[in-house]
C-alpha cells in the first residue's frame, strides 16, 4: 500500500520515520512514480441523420447502412419522412496511427466536440438517440445527453424491452 512506498495519502498519518530521505540505494517516491504515456482511446461512431430534428449515433457495434433501414421503418410508423445523407458521417479515433501526435483522451474529446458541432440536431426540438455503449459514453463525455441510450442495433432488434424504450422515447419526442 501507500505505507510501503513511503507515499502519504491525504488524511493518513506521516510515516514513522518522519518522511526522512531515502537511504542509499533506495529510490525516492518521486523517482519511482512516473506517469506512463497518455492512453489513446480507440472508438468509432457513425452519425445517421434521421430527420431535420433527429440524429442517431451508433458505435462500431452497429452497421450504419443496416441502421438506416431500421430507422426508415421506425420513422415510417411516425409518418416522418427520412432523407439520408449519401454517406454516413463517421468519427474514428485515433484518426491516424502515430506515436508522434498527441491522441490522448482530451484531444479525442476536442475533436469529437468539433465534429458534433457540425452534425448536431438544430433547434430546440432536436433529439439524439445513442446506440451502443461507446456511443452513449462518448456523447456524454462531450456533454451531450441523448434522449435514449440503447444497446447496439442487433441487441435492439432482438429485445422487446429495448424496442419499448425506443418507442417511448420517440413518443415523448413526437408528441411535444
pLDDT per position as a tens digit, 24-65: 555 544 455 545 567 899 999 999 988 878 899 999 988 999
SS3 130: strand
- Across the range 78-96, mean pLDDT stands at 86
In this model, does residue 88 exceed pLDDT 50? yes
Contact 76, 67 (CB under 8 A): no
Residue 49's CB is within 10 A of a number of other CB atoms, namely 19
- Distance from C-alpha of 98 to C-alpha of 164, rounded to nearest angstrom: 43
Residue among 81, 8, 90, 77 nearest 48 (CA): 90
Contacts of residue 103, Cβ cutoff 8 Å, sequence gap at least 6: 38, 40, 93, 94, 95
- Across the range 99-124, mean pLDDT stands at 91
Give me the percent of the chain exceeding a pLDDT of 70. Answer: 78
Confidence (pLDDT) at 16: 46
Confidence (pLDDT) at 176: 59
In this model, does residue 14 exceed pLDDT 60? no
**Does 129 or 80 have the greater pLDDT score?**
129
> In whole angstroms, how far apart are CA 58 and each of 96, 111, 132, 167, 175?
21, 17, 6, 17, 24
Amino acid at each position: 500500500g501507500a505505507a510501503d512506498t513511503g507515499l502519504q495519502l491525504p488524511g493518513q498519518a506521516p510515516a514513522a520515520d518522519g518522511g526522512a530521505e531515502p537511504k542509499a540505494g533506495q529510490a525516492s517516491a518521486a523517482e519511482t512514480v512516473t506517469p506512463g504515456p497518455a492512453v489513446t482511446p480507440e472508438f468509432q461512431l457513425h452519425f445517421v441523420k434521421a430527420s431535420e430534428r433527429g440524429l442517431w449515433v451508433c458505435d462500431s457495434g452497429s452497421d450504419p447502412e443496416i441502421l438506416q433501414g431500421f430507422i426508415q421503418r421506425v420513422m415510417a410508423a411516425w409518418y416522418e419522412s427520412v432523407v439520408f445523407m449519401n454517406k454516413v458521417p463517421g468519427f474514428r479515433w485515433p484518426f491516424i496511427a502515430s506515436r508522434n501526435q498527441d491522441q490522448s483522451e482530451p484531444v479525442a474529446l476536442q475533436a469529437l466536440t468539433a465534429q458534433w458541432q457540425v452534425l448536431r440536431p438544430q433547434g430546440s426540438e432536436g433529439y439524439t438517440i445513442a446506440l451502443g455503449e461507446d456511443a452513449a459514453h462518448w456523447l456524454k463525455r462531450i456533454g451531450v445527453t441523448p434522449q435514449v441510450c440503447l444497446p447496439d442495433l442487433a441487441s435492439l432488434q432482438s429485445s422487446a424491452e429495448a424496442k419499448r424504450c425506443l418507442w417511448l422515447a420517440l413518443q415523448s419526442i413526437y408528441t411535444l
